[in-house]
Amino acid sequence: MLIGIDASRANRDHKSGTEWYSYYLIKWLAKLDNKNQYILYTDKPLKGGLLDLTTNQHLPGPGQEDIRFDKAGYQAVKSPYNNFRAKVLNWPFNFFWTLGRLSWEMLIHKPDVLFVPAHSLPLILPKKTIATIHDVAFEKNNFLYQADNIGPERKFLRNALDFFVRIFTGGKYGANSTDYLKWSTKFALKHAGKIITVSNFSKEEILKIYKSKKEKVKMIYNGYNEALYRKIDDRGKIEEVLDKYGIESPFLLYVGRLEKKKNTPALIEAFCLMRENNKSIKHKLVLIGDASFGYDEVKYIIKEFGLGSEIIMPGWAEEEDLPYIYNAAAAFVFPTKYEGFGIPLLQAMSCQVPVVASRLSVLKEVGGEAVLFFDPDNVNSIEEALKNIITSDKLRKDLIEKGKERVKNFSWEKCARETLAEINSL
């Protein structure tokens, strides 16, 4: 059987949840499946670990790739069973690659099965198509998203594209990011043969909002890279990585986009209150991640509270460096307002770092009793949790021990095995 996979997200430089999910599923499917043939569809030549699917991590790094193409035009991909190859689908625009170029590929060279590890499907697709919907936050908390325009840079052409999109959708949707999320999710639920989602919480949300058939939606948990995220005792290497990003100990750690959805402004405010009310606490706050919608508020609050020297924002961090930063942290804090899963919780627990996080049903589903929860809408609740995790050694040790056991329930290998079973069942 020939299985096509949309690898465009897995191939991005700065990956977050959906991109890492795509990346590690591809890596593990290559390790597990010696029967099927695979084509990885991408908008740009594959790089890093996607060129060598025999490794655990995403190495080699930038500049080290050996990008080669065979006589048929396929990009060479190393895999354990030599059953993977890649096809670069060039597209002249920086938008609608899936709807345009991938649709054309499905029309002229359709695989037996198409797997899209995200919500966005091509307009033309095989009968056997499976997609992953990670969450539906854009339906429940639309104010957390910015409706960015989709289209050419020139305003006239962008307005023209918006006009045609509205004609195509009967006036229901425009050419912007939030409308595209809504339309593409509904399209996937209607046309995919099966939908995967990453938690029971997300499955319930999908069924409730879209009235989908229960048997069509399969829940498969995310995983984490246990070969990478682990307890590390090499203090010299830890200090080397901290110096690389300008991080000073002791510190509390947050990893994720700096945005409204992740509730970063409330975390900063709570951190400020904790430092003011507890003069003996000297911990800094490290925020690792790219800026996104709501970042202006983050910068404003830091300036307003005079926290420039107490909050460290290194920006994006390479994944091979993150375990060292986790291991150096006094605790990991995750103040998000909405998640489909919450992979950073697993990463922190695997590094034996205590975790404090938002009291959301999905994070309870993932973290269980291994997490100290707070109310994400109450700054005082966040402040109290931060103070407790710093000052109580007993609490920290208890959470670390529970976390070591909790992460045993999750792995990318398990996720890939269950996903492969769903693909084969179509």
The secondary structure of 286-320 as a DSSP string is: EEES-B-TTHHHHHHHHHHTT-TTTEEEEE---TT
pLDDT-above-90 percentage for the chain: 72
What is the distance in angstroms between the CA of the first residue and the CA of the last residue of the chain?
A: 11
pLDDT at 57: 59
pLDDT, one tens digit per residue, over 326-341 is: 999 999 999 999 999 9
Task: List, edge to edge, every strand of the sheet that includes 371-374.
Answer: 311-315, 284-288, 251-255, 331-334, 355-358, 371-374
pLDDT at 140: 73
pLDDT at 250: 96
pLDDT at 61: 47
Q: Does position 300 have pLDDT exceeding 90, yes or no?
A: no
The mean pLDDT value for 207-233 works out to 94
Q: Does position 216 have pLDDT exceeding 70, yes or no?
A: yes
pLDDT, one tens digit per residue, over 132-155 is: 999 998 887 766 666 778 888 888
DSSP-assigned states of every residue in 72-108 = TSPEE-B-TTS-EEEEE---SSSS-HIIIIIHHHHHH
**Mean pLDDT score of the chain:** 91
pLDDT-above-70 percentage for the chain: 96
More confident residue, 47 or 188: 188
Q: Going by C-beta distance under 8 Å and a sequence separation of 6 or more, which residues neighbour residue 10?
A: 19, 22, 23, 26, 50, 117
Among 186-190, 209-213, 240-244, which is the least confidently predicted range?
Answer: 209-213
pLDDT at 309: 80
pLDDT, one tens digit per residue, over 153-166 is: 888 888 888 888 89
Distance of CA 425 to the CA centre of its chain: 26
pLDDT at 142: 65
> Would you say 389 and 356 are in contact if contact means Cβ atoms under 8 Å apart?
yes
Give the start-end residues of each E strand in 343-409.
355-358, 371-374
Residue 291 φ then ψ, to 5°: -75, 145
The answer to pTM > 0.75 is: yes
Q: Does position 383 have pLDDT exceeding 90, yes or no?
A: yes
pLDDT at 65: 62
Confidence of residue 60 (pLDDT cuts 50, 70, 90): very low
The mean pLDDT value for 400-406 works out to 98
Going from the N-terminus, what domains does the chain have, and what CATH number goes with each?
A: 2-223+412-425 (3.40.50.2000), 235-409 (3.40.50.2000)
Q: Does position 231 have pLDDT exceeding 60, yes or no?
A: yes
Q: Ramachandran region of residue 301, left (φ > 0), alpha (ψ -120 to 50) or beta?
A: alpha
Residue 171 CB-half CA count within 13 A? 0
Q: Does position 64 have pLDDT exceeding 60, yes or no?
A: no
Encoded tokens for 407: 């992460």
Compute the distance between CA of residue 148 and CA of residue 145 in angstroms, rounded to an integer: 9
Compute the distance between CA of residue 100 and CA of residue 103 in angstroms, rounded to an integer: 5
The mean pLDDT value for 390-411 works out to 97
Taking alpha carbons only, the member of 166, 194, 158, 139 closest to residue 340 is: 139
Confidence of residue 291 (pLDDT cuts 50, 70, 90): confident
Taking alpha carbons only, the member of 353, 345, 354 closest to residue 395 is: 354
- Greatest mean pLDDT among 48-62, 76-90, 297-311: 76-90
pLDDT at 350: 98
Q: Are strands 37-42 and 84-88 parallel, antiparallel or unpaired?
A: parallel
pLDDT, one tens digit per residue, over 197-213 is: 999 999 999 999 998 88
CA-to-CA dists, residue 69 to 2, 31, 88, 134, angstroms: 20, 22, 10, 33
CA-to-CA dists, residue 334 to 27, 118, 137, 222, angstroms: 27, 23, 17, 17
pLDDT at 152: 85
